[in-house]
Amino acid sequence: MQENGGRLVQQARIVLDFNWAGAYTKPSPRLYPHQWSWDSAFIALGYATYDTSRAWRELSSLFAGQWSNGLLPHIVFNPELNNYFPGSRVWRTELSPHSPGEIRTSGVVQPPVHAIAARRVYERLLREDSAGAEAFAEQIYPALAAWHGYLHRERDPDGTGLVYIRHPWESGMDNSPLWDGILQRIRLRPGQVPEYQRLDVGFVAEEDRPVDAEYDRYIHLVRHAADRGYDEAAIREDAPFLVWDVLFNTILCAADRDLAALARSVGEDPTSHEAAADATGRAMNARLWDEESGLYLDHDLAAGRDIEVYDALSSLLPLYGGIPDPGRAGRLVHNLESSGFFVGGDGYPAPSYARYGYGYSPVKYWRGPVWINTNWLLMHGLRRYGYEEHAETLRSTIVSLVQRSGFHEYFHPATGRGHGSDFFSWTAALLLDVLSMGDTDHAY
């Protein structure tokens, strides 16, 4: 291990042990008591460095909540806990014939990191127990194939190569300034949003969280999908939020390639997964690349236009999926260096939203703080294209932020102070992954 990492490794494992709920890992002790989808995938990456059996259980627990049409919900609720809003009653997922019976879930998804994590767990298991690796792959591959099948079938009905998201929560970057224009278009009248009591601001500072007007629209979008029985065709007919999202499609492209590798491990044909990854990459370059800015931009399907927000870190993350050619990759790195993400010596890179961007906040959720998971994605993307010095800066930042402030949800980009929830599981898990990089090859 590097950076005298033995103590940090021990602390990170303590965080994960503290949040272990017997079958899954809570993202944090109080604010997020249930199982979250992409959190569990990142958490499994951390467990893969030292406890593959728990990584396996983490993913198995999540996929127990998968719907019969392949949808993998962003929350699988623990029936013994009620201290979260919106809880299972708000989602009304029982209105869908595809929901998983007595297992209560949400009705939206999150970025599909799961095949990426599963491939990593499989490769670790191969070193420990080849029979166990085979059993894991045989269990997880069909569930992953159904999950990706749902996305390509239901979220890309016209076969464009790009899947859409229908709620800001599906982006993973919930209250990013990317969504401001769309949310402002949603005009709510009295009676359109039910009375509710937010619980999040009782656990963390209110200044760190989305404002009430955003939450009103989040719940409105939940009701919109539930009122249509979670039928995707009915939802997209008049959905006010329907977006080709850069980050979501980047991760799907990378995950399809890892799913192809898992298909080979169980003797299945990987061709369809490889073709899907190729189609997504081509479509992102054809439809989401903005030549003038040298960035990838989200596209608002409901309005029929690009979302002209140029300061979201997600615009650079196609590097992770190997999507741009070297020339475009160079332009992305130029933007990284010159747009308030990577200002040398001035704070901590890379904020989720550039510090000079309109709508920036250094403390408010996805409007500017540094998140470990997006730094992790960008680090691997930079390494893929040979930008080793930039990648090393991000690796060192991940370590130094935790050393300075602990295992927080996110961090102030100027001071490094931790914000949001503390004892945050994916911060611990991805730190473990980063600290293991000197011990083993990473193939993301």
Within 10 A of 106 (CB to CB), how many other CB atoms are there? 26
> Does residue 344 have a pLDDT over 80?
no
Residue 4: predicted pLDDT: 56
Average pLDDT over residues 407-419: 97
> Does residue 232 have a pLDDT over 90?
yes
Name the nearest CA neighbour of 419 among 376, 379, 377, 372: 372
- Indicate the SS3 state at residue 243: strand
Residue 440: predicted pLDDT: 43
Name the nearest CA neighbour of 295 among 242, 356, 339: 339
- Catalytic (active site) residue 409: yes
Report how far apart, in Å, the C-alpha atoms of 354 and of each of 47, 170, 231, 370 are. 32, 21, 37, 10
Q: What DSSP string describes 124-155?
A: HHHHH-HHHHHHHHHHHHHHHHHHHHHHHHHS
pLDDT tens digit sequence for 264-305? 999 999 999 999 999 999 999 999 999 999 999 999 999 999
Residue 1: predicted pLDDT: 40
Average pLDDT over residues 360-367: 95
Residue 223: predicted pLDDT: 94
- Residue 229 included in any domain: yes
Instruction: Output the average pLDDT for the chain.
Output: 94
- Candidate from 199-203, 329-333, 344-348 with smallest mean pLDDT: 199-203
Q: Where are the beta strands (DSSP E) in 245-304?
A: 289-290, 295-296, 299-300
- Residue 1 included in any domain: no
- Residue 442 included in any domain: no
> Does residue 443 have a pLDDT over 60?
no
- Candidate from 27-31, 73-77, 267-271 with smallest mean pLDDT: 27-31
Q: Which domain holds residue 132?
A: 6-435
- Indicate the SS3 state at residue 300: strand
The contacts of residue 220 (CB under 8 Å, 6+ apart) are: 186, 188, 192, 193
Q: Helices in 99-211 by DSSP H: which ranges?
A: 114-128, 130-154, 180-185
Q: What is the Cα 152 distance to its own chain's centre?
A: 18
Whichever domain contains 252, its CATH number is 1.50.10.10
Active-site option among 94, 138, 174, 231: 174
Q: How many domains does the chain have?
A: 1
pLDDT tens digit sequence for 171-202? 999 999 999 999 999 999 887 877 777 777 77
Residue 9: predicted pLDDT: 97
**In percent, how much of the chain has pLDDT > 70?**
97
Average pLDDT over residues 338-367: 91
pTM, two decimals, is 0.96
Active-site option among 245, 409, 422, 433: 409
- Residue 444 included in any domain: no
Q: Residue 258's beta-bridge partner residues?
A: none
- Residue 441 included in any domain: no
pLDDT tens digit sequence for 37-60? 999 999 999 999 999 999 999 999
- Candidate from 39-48, 319-328, 337-346, 385-394 with smallest mean pLDDT: 337-346
Confidence band of 442 (pLDDT split at 50, 70, 90) = very low
- Residue 440 included in any domain: no
- Catalytic (active site) residue 174: yes
Confidence band of 439 (pLDDT split at 50, 70, 90) = very low
What angle, 0 to 180 degrees and rounded to 10, lies between the N-to-C axes of helices 130-154 and 271-283?
A: 50
- Candidate from 110-119, 195-204, 231-240, 413-422 with smallest mean pLDDT: 195-204
> Does residue 3 have a pLDDT over 50?
no
- Residue 93 included in any domain: yes
